[in-house]
Amino acid sequence: MATPNPELLAQLRELLGEKGVREEPHPLWPNIVLKPESTEQVSRLMKLCNEAGQAVIPWGGKTGLVDGLNETVGELGLSLERMNAIEEIDELNRTCTVQAGCILQVAAEACEEKGLLLPLDLGARGTATVGGNVATNAGGNRVIRYGMMRDMVLGLEVVLADGTVVCNLNKMLKNNAGYDLKQWFIGAEGTLGVITRVVVRLRQLPRSQNTALVACENFDSVTRLLGWLDANTAGTLSAFECMWPSFYNHVTREGSLHTPPLAHGYPFYVLVETLGSSPEEDQEKFEQVLGDALENELMVDAVIAKSQSECKALWEIRDDVMGFMALGPVALFDVSITVNHMAEFIAEVETYMNGITDSFNVTFGHVGDSNLHLILGNTNPEAFDKAHIEDTVYKLVEKYAGSVSAEHGVGLLKREHLGCTRSEVELQLMYRMKRMLDPNNILNPNKIFTADKVA
């Protein structure tokens, strides 16, 4: 990889000081990391880099899963970790203004102390930053109720490739004063601008959480149950997480960390949750709705969490993904498939994987928002053909008009498969936008699409 020229590095050191330019060896990511402490510094460093044609990779908590931070042409890292202040929690307007490097959980807990909910919730909450959440349009567990990060962002401050600061820390739900510029940068994975500050819309903190694990006899019941629960819980349904037996049976196997709350042997397990305002009434209502669903044969078994620790135990089953990595090399998938095609899609993936000796395949996902996660691997590393698995799965995604990325983004990992989901016309528009905002291609180059596409 090319090394940044010494003159530029000297200028950056002068601008950012000792703490602002660090060497941090890593096999894949840039080894020199810039750590500005203000928007002004971000603006000035971008201007210097742009003039020198020096590429940078902006990053947050580095919890992404699509190789979005990998060095490709000798980039500098640009970490927002020193810009991590919670600038304001506005209880009246119910907004939270944070610097991009603020860790999601830190922001969420500060809001909680004021009786307010920052609704984004995902596994990496303790490390991921709000800026990273915006740059990747993070999703997570509560999208059916609160939407993705895009739906929570009211205001944004972004630094463009040439150092221009675009600041609109809007706090209002309605604002139709011309083009909604912030939308351009949300989910652009740091290729169009560096996010420096964010205004997040907050909600009132729920006072009750009701969680259950239910079993369904077929996928048709799963989808009908989703509609039923949504219709009967009046806007409070916040999670509908489906686990196939390949996931559930392994995570709760004998000798695992978890006791199975429901017996093995059912075709589908679903974690459902509502967030309400009246602890006692909500629990009664939740039990009644699930009872009715059972009576109407939308499900065949259920266990309702009776305490905070039982609720936590159910979520821990759903979140226990890492264990599968120990089984052998894996290919991870984060795809969207419309609910009507999910069963066929999974069946085709399973048929394909079952044809490979020593393979394993695991399925789970946020069925309520079309998002499936697959873990496809092989206990015999030598028999593992990642490229073939990826090609096969993404072709199936294309066949069923799904998306190669539901919530993780594209990065390097899905770049070659983007055409399965986006037409050439759409890709050309993306290239034009990139050329317009970053003509020297210095912001996270080669991510989402290759540099030659925007040359």
Q: Tokens 């919730």 correspond to what residue? A: 121
Write down the H helix ranges in 123-273.
130-135, 143-146, 149-152, 182-185, 219-232, 245-251
Q: Where are the alpha helices (DSSP H) in 296-377?
A: 308-319, 339-354
Contact segment (CB under 8 A) with a copy of itself among 251-259, 261-269, 306-314, 338-346 equals 338-346
Closest CA to 183 of 171, 168, 172, 164: 168
Residues 269, 251: contact at Cβ < 8 Å? no
Q: Choose between 361 and 421: whose C-beta lies nearer to a copy of itself.
A: 421
- Piece of 43-51, 181-189, 239-247, 301-309 that binds a copy of itself (CB under 8 A): 181-189
Residues 94 and 117: their CA atoms lie apart, in Å, by: 9
Q: Which of 5, 38, 218, 278 binds a copy of itself (CB under 8 A)?
A: 278
* Among 48, 86, 106, 166, interactor with a copy of itself by CB under 8 A: 166
Is 436 a binding residue for a copy of itself by CB under 8 A? The answer is yes
Element (H, E) at 188: none
Residue 204 binds to a copy of itself (criterion: CB under 8 A): yes
**Number of residues near a copy of itself (by CB under 8 A):** 95
Residue of 52, 65, 300, 433 interacting with a copy of itself (CB under 8 A): 433
Q: Which of 10, 173, 257, 347 binds a copy of itself (CB under 8 A)?
A: 173
Neighbours of 2 (CB within 10 A): 10
Out of 45, 98, 376, 410, the only residue in the binding site for a copy of itself (CB under 8 A) is 410
Q: Print the binding letters for residues 295-334 with a copy of itself: x by CB under 8 A, - otherwise.
A: ----------------------------------------
Is 64 among the residues that bind a copy of itself (CB under 8 A)? no
Q: Which of 20, 402, 444, 454 binds a copy of itself (CB under 8 A)?
A: 402
Q: Using CB under 8 A, which of 407, 438, 441, 446 touches a copy of itself? A: 407
Q: Does 92 bind a copy of itself (CB under 8 A)?
A: yes
User: Interface with a copy of itself includes 451 (CB under 8 A)?
Assistant: no
Q: Can you tell me the distance from the alpha carbon of 70 to that of 41, in angstroms, rounded to the nearest whole number?
A: 23
DSSP 136: T
Residue closer to a copy of itself by CB (options 17, 227) is 227
222-261 residues in contact with a copy of itself (CB under 8 A) are 223, 227, 230-236
The answer to whether residues 310 and 345 touch, using CB atoms and an 8 Å cutoff, is no
Other beta carbons within 10 Å of 361: 24
Nearest 5°: CA angle at 278, between 276 and 279?
90
Distance, first Cα to last Cα, the chain: 20
Choosing from 336, 359, 378, 444, the residue that interacts with a copy of itself (CB under 8 A) is: 336
